[in-house]
Amino acid sequence: MANDTWKSTDSVRTARPLKYARELTLAEPLDLELGGQIDNVTIAYETYGELNERRDNAVLICHALSGDSHVARHNESDDPGWWDLAVGPGKAIDTDRYFVVCSNVLGGCRGTTGPNTLNPNTGKPYGADFPSITMGDIVGVQRRLIDYLGIGELRAVVGGSMGGHQVLTWATRYPERVASAIAIATSARLTVQALAFDVIGRNAILRDPDFEDGDYYDRAGPAVGLALARMLGHITYLSTESMNSKFEANRLEPHDVPTEFEKRFSIGSYLAYQGARFVERFDANTYIRLSMAMDLFDLGATHRQRKDAFARSRCRWLVVSFTSDWLFPPEQSQEIVNALVSLDRSVTYMNIASPCGHDAFLLEEDLDTYGELLQSFLANIDGEPAVPFDEDDDVYACDATSIFHPHRIDYDRIVERIPAGSSVLDLGCGRGGLLSRLRRKGCGPLVGVELNEKAILECVRRGLDVIHADVNDGLAAFDDKQFDYVVLSQTLQAVENVEGLVGDMLRVGRNCIVSFPNFGYHKLRRMLAEDGRAPEAPGLLRFKWYNSPNIRFFTIRDFEEFCEPKGIRILERVALDTERSCEVTDDVNRLADTAIFVISR
């Protein structure tokens, strides 16, 4: 077989260089984790923006299974990149501020050494001879590129899906080289279901008679098998909602795609089109090597194993998932977050509400929330928040407040009770008012838990760590006695499972602080007793009986009687009359409208 034969085949399956890609060839042979070596490894990469003098503004972007180094266009006449939405001048990953690097992965088919590269030892493409690789091999090659570019610490490593696997690998293998990790729609290992889809995709390729054991570069190659694998992939990238919204109305009206695949249904013509396009631009051997590297990627099946795996990481983390992603479901991101949280690592997590499935991270629909999240997180890596906290902001825009007073006067009393240096978990942290005060006081580590996306964004803008979660789901993520203080301010009256949550707080915190409105307050009693109406008040109790988030109706006395038989120790009780802005010491169940309890086991 002459070299000319396969040189003349389709230019994509052989390594056609991308227009703006540069190349680095490693002098040393590359030793692989599963055995074997590759000589003369070439890395195709693109860069955007300028490396600053301190060499501390570099952001490495890692691509997903079918991506390449062309993450964004370099100028207006350039071809579109795969993440133009997020990368460019003034965008979330701002190339006016950051020096962005993106390289094609080892084993890829767009410039970096892979199965379609000429093997220098045989003069033919590697094909079947290309060894099995791991996420560690892929990231090891990237590390050499970063060395070559003279970058010590990356400001951020960013990636979604398989790109997220690379991010996790970077943060745990080279902790000293990573200031922050942004892991999007990814996991510590695939679900069995995702693994099963990969197995079927590979079987479709491997059993295609045109696969020829991987040595097909002088002929057509396994076009049917690769197209089937890609079709299958496309189902998993979309959600069932997004498939319905795209293909339900015209289900029997296929597009006129030139294809030998079935084209009776619109979804069929879509899949056929995606399959055909993919065969033109991608290589089946690469598909097999990279999907297997994903399938073998494994930072642990259990919380303990994941804690061990993430223990080496030192960076700040941003973990992002999408509610409708079933290929990398949010629970898997939460597993990563739980491991990091219980290791006291700095981590922010958001589960973005999106109907778009796994693909969401590449789509415009979700960029409003998602883009600002990336941008604010990147801006605050240094620790100095770009947006300081203004106490005047701190009225009851989205938070609960005291019952008569529009300002959170309970915050001052809570902050007084927490010594500088204490670690604090704030449940229902809102926009970070209490956490900002505690940071100023010198407390840390500080972690917030919040359900509202906009409130979380505000926290991230202020450089606070916040976990997107519902306190009603409990605190299983946190370790026993992980925090000096756990705070639940003005939220207990809105909690579904009070016993469960208070029990969890007492497990997780050495001390807990709970504040709540006292329905025993004389004015509230009188409303029921004399007017025969459910009590209301201007602040926290401004709701009607039928639309109030306050679903628990109780008094200071009730709370004390709740604690006593459970052996919950009441260390301190602060009773407030928020209308008069003063503390109450006598007849508190009648004269205080708000109570703060410091409790412990």
Q: Which residues bind a second copy (CB under 8 A)?
A: 191-193, 195-197, 199-200, 202-204, 206-207, 209, 224, 228, 231-232, 235, 238, 240, 243-244, 246-249, 251, 260-262, 264-265, 267-268, 271-272, 292, 295, 301, 326, 329, 498-499, 519-520, 525-526, 528-529, 531-534, 544-547, 551-558, 561-562, 589-590
In the residue annotation, 407 being an active-site residue is answered as no
Catalytic residue among 68, 325, 366, 426: 325
Query: Which listed residue (103, 161, 354, 402) is catalytic?
Result: 161
DSSP at 76 = T
Name which of 355, 357, 330, 326 is nearest 238 in CA terms.
357
Of 109, 54, 102, 108, residue with least CA distance to 74: 102
Residue 17's contacts (CB-CB under 8 Å, 6 or more residues apart) are: 23, 44, 111
Least Å distance between CB 494 and a second copy?
10
Least separation in angstroms between residue 228's CB and a second copy is 6
Nearer of residues 260 and 412 to a second copy, judged by Cβ: 260
Report helix, strand and coil shares of the chain as percent, to nearest 5: 35, 20, 45
480 is catalytic: no
CA distance 335 to 481: 20
Cβ proximity to a second copy: between 363 and 498 the closer is: 498
Select 210 or 344, whichever has its Cβ closest to a second copy: 210
Write down the least CB distance from residue 193 to a second copy, Å: 5
Cβ proximity to a second copy, 15 vs 204, nearer residue: 204
Name the residue nearer to a second copy (CB basis): 345 or 358: 358
Residue 17 C-beta: closest distance to a second copy, Å? 32
Nearest distance from C-beta of residue 200 to a second copy, angstroms: 5
Considering the complex, state which of residue 181 and residue 309 has its C-beta at the smaller distance from a second copy: 309
Distance between CA 250 and CA 256 in Å, rounded?
13
Contacts of 531 (CB under 8 A, 6+ apart): none
Q: 171 or 272, CB closer to a second copy?
A: 272
Long-range contacts (CB closer than 8 Å, 24 or more residues apart) made by 433-436: 433/389, 433/391, 433/393, 433/394, 433/399, 433/408, 434/408, 434/487, 434/489, 435/459, 435/464, 436/389, 436/462, 436/464
Output 101 or 524, the one with its CB closest to a second copy: 524
CB of 513 to a second copy, least distance (A): 18
Residue 94 makes CB contacts below 8 A (sequence gap 6+) with 88, 375, 378
For the bound state, the minimum distance from the C-beta of residue 38 to a second copy, rounded and expressed in Å, comes to 22
Side chain identity, residue 516: F
CA distance 21 to 102: 10
- CB 437 to a second copy: min, Å: 29
Residue from 70, 165, 358, 407 carrying the catalytic annotation: 358
Task: Return d(Cα 55, Cα 62) in angstroms, integer.
Answer: 19
Q: How far is CA 437 from CA 95, 179, 368, 388, 460, in A?
A: 33, 25, 28, 11, 15
Amino acid (one-letter) located at 307: K
SS (H, E, C) 232-264: HHHHHHCCHHHHHHHHCCCCCCCCCCCCCCCCC
Shortest Å distance, C-beta 440 to a second copy: 34
User: Which CB, 15 or 185, lies closer to a second copy?
Assistant: 185
Compute the least distance from the CB of residue 398 to a second copy, in Å: 20
Rg of the chain, C-alpha, whole Å: 28
Cα(88)–Cα(73) distance, rounded to whole angstroms?
8
Contacts of 158 by beta carbon, 8 Å cutoff, 6+ apart: 59, 60, 61, 62, 93, 167, 182, 184, 374
Cα dist from 239 to 15, 161, 167, 288, whole Å: 33, 15, 24, 24
Closer to a second copy by Cβ: residue 483 or 519: 519
| Residue linked to tokens 């029990």 | 503
Active site residue 161: yes
Alpha carbon distance 326, 65 (integer Å): 17
Q: Which is nearer to a second copy, 264 or 542 (CB)?
A: 264
Residue 445, preceding peptide bond in cis (omega within 30° of 0): yes
Q: Where are the alpha helices (DSSP H) in 480-538?
A: 498-508, 522-531
Shortest separation between residue 359's beta carbon and a second copy, angstroms: 14
Tell me the β-bridge partners of 46: 102
449 strand-pairing partners: 427, 467
Separation between Cα atoms, residue 402 and residue 406, nearest integer Å: 7
Q: Which residues are catalytic?
A: 161, 325, 358
